[in-house]
């Protein structure tokens, strides 16, 4: 497992947040960027909230740079995030043949868009 995270946008969402109890909360942040995976292991790549500059992840969307997996746009590559283990997985569907495993040691580019509590956020009351 080897990965590099590059943040492209880090913007505050003033007045837009709530804590887990539903109380208004400052310090929400949206972060977008890319992840370069230089040696995919097939057993998941670690991606914690702190890696993105967040203390918690409320929402995350991950997309593979090359979504089309086969010729003529058949099949696709999907990136799935596992909140309980803070890992993401790359899954490939190859047209009518179904799911195929991503080869170990391959390189991938993944884009992310995440929203959560800012790691350096200050709660204003």
pLDDT at 98: 61
Which helix (H) or strand (E) segment holds residue 56: the answer is strand 54-64
pLDDT at residue 30 in the model: 93
The pTM (predicted TM-score) of the whole model is: 0.81
Q: Would strands 24-25 and 17-18 be described as parallel, antiparallel, or unpaired?
A: antiparallel
Measure the CA angle with vertex 2, ends 101 and 36; round to 5°.
80
Residues of the chain with confidence (pLDDT) below 70 = 1, 16, 20, 70-71, 73, 94-101, 121-125
């Amino acid at each position: 497992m080897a990965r590099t995270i590059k943040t492209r946008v880090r913007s505050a969402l003033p007045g837009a947040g709530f804590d887990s109890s539903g109380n208004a909360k400052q310090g929400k942040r949206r972060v977008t960027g890319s992840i370069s995976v230089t040696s995919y292991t097939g057993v998941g790549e670690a991606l914690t909230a702190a890696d993105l500059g967040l203390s918690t992840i409320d929402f995350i969307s991950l997309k593979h740079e090359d979504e089309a997996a086969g010729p003529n746009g058949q099949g696709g590559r999907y990136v799935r995030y596992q909140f309980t283990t803070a890992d993401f997985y790359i899954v490939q569907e190859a047209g009518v043949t179904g799911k195929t495993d991503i080869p170990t040691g391959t390189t991938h580019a993944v884009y992310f868009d995440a929203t959560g509590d800012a790691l350096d956020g200050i709660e204003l009351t």
